[in-house]
Amino acid sequence: MTDVAGQYDHFQISYETLEKEKKYLNYGYTLNPHQTLEDKQEQLCKEVFKLANIQHNHIIVDVGFGSGEQDFLLADLYPFSQLIGFNISQRQVEYANYRAGIKNLGDRMIFYQGEAERMERIADSSVDRVLAIECAFYFDRPRFYKEAARILKKGGYLVLSDITLGPRLKWLADNSTKYKRAGTLKKNKKQWEYYFQTRLIRNISNVTKQGAQESVFQILRTLPKLDQPLRGDWLQLALSSQLVALGLRLHLIQYHLIVLEKVKNTFKR
């Protein structure tokens, strides 16, 4: 079984091989049933950007940015000063930097291979926004919240679109190593409130479940077009996406948009 970074390397290679134009990897935000999955995926990013209230002079850090597709969308929609990305997949980082170059965005955008929990190259209190679109369930959350709070300026926002286990699966979040990182909203909130004030939590499970189910169908349709070594990772994603789709439908899994504000520079721990 490939590790997470290796899996996302494979997803990126597949997207490049298939020459897929919009390389998102999220469950989307459904406005109407006629939208394509790509439109829904783009909409999820737009919802995050809206909540982030991005200004022309902002320095933004985007963690778990996938192929960087969301950041090129951001650059089309909003003026900002600088964007720095962190992602553990080397292939995705290379691709995002290559695309930034082609789009003449290289002076404003740079993507690094690195963990969201360790952004040493970013100075304390130097960033206006941290974005985390559908990726925080991979993170060691307590370390990530602390790191995001370290790099954010006072008054800066951490904005997430985030998947967690519902209250009825709390036992799984408490006991399973595999699902511990997803956590539950209540448990995660307790952790982030050491560093942040909660400005908004919006449950969007209802508008996400259609996209989660569609992702499964899309993966299964595409599978025969891919080389054998890549298929295993996609099959695994199809399986976990099916579980997410089912979980959202049964209220066992929840999807939220979350806005957190750093209100002070010193913390209890």
Ligand X SMILES: C[S@@+](CC[C@H](N)C(=O)[O-])C[C@H]1O[C@@H](n2cnc3c(N)ncnc32)[C@H](O)[C@@H]1O
- Which CB, 206 or 240, lies closer to ligand X? 240
Report if residue 4 touches ligand X, rule: CB under 6 A. Answer: yes
Instruction: Kindly indicate which of the ranges 83-91, 94-102, 176-184, 248-256 contains the residues binding ligand X, using the contact rule CB under 6 A.
Output: 83-91
Instruction: Kindly indicate which of the ranges 86-94, 97-105, 193-201, 259-267 contains the residues binding ligand X, using the contact rule CB under 6 A.
Output: 86-94
The CB-of-47 to ligand X minimum distance in angstroms stands at 12
Report if residue 151 touches ligand X, rule: CB under 6 A. Answer: no
Report if residue 135 touches ligand X, rule: CB under 6 A. Answer: yes
- Rounded Cα distance, 160 and 162, in Å: 6
Two structure tokens written together for 11 = 């997803």
Site size for ligand X (CB under 6 A) = 23
Two structure tokens written together for 228 = 């054998």
Length of the chain in residues, anyone?
Answer: 269
Two structure tokens written together for 224 = 């025969």
Report if residue 147 touches ligand X, rule: CB under 6 A. Answer: no
- Which CB, 167 or 191, lies closer to ligand X? 191
Report if residue 238 touches ligand X, rule: CB under 6 A. Answer: no
Report if residue 239 touches ligand X, rule: CB under 6 A. Answer: no
- Rounded Cα distance, 191 and 143, in Å: 10
- Rounded Cα distance, 60 and 126, in Å: 10
Mask for 23-42, x = binds ligand X (CB under 6 A): -xxx----------------
- Which CB, 117 or 162, lies closer to ligand X? 117
Report if residue 255 touches ligand X, rule: CB under 6 A. Answer: no
Report if residue 89 touches ligand X, rule: CB under 6 A. Answer: yes
Coil, strand or helix at 109: strand
- Rounded Cα distance, 104 and 6, in Å: 29
| H helix runs in the chain, sequence order | 4-17, 37-52, 69-77, 90-102, 141-151, 170-175, 177-180, 185-192, 205-222, 228-249
- Rounded Cα distance, 121 and 118, in Å: 9
Q: Point out which residues bind ligand X (CB under 6 A).
A: 4, 8, 24-26, 63-66, 70, 86-89, 92, 115-117, 133-135, 138-139
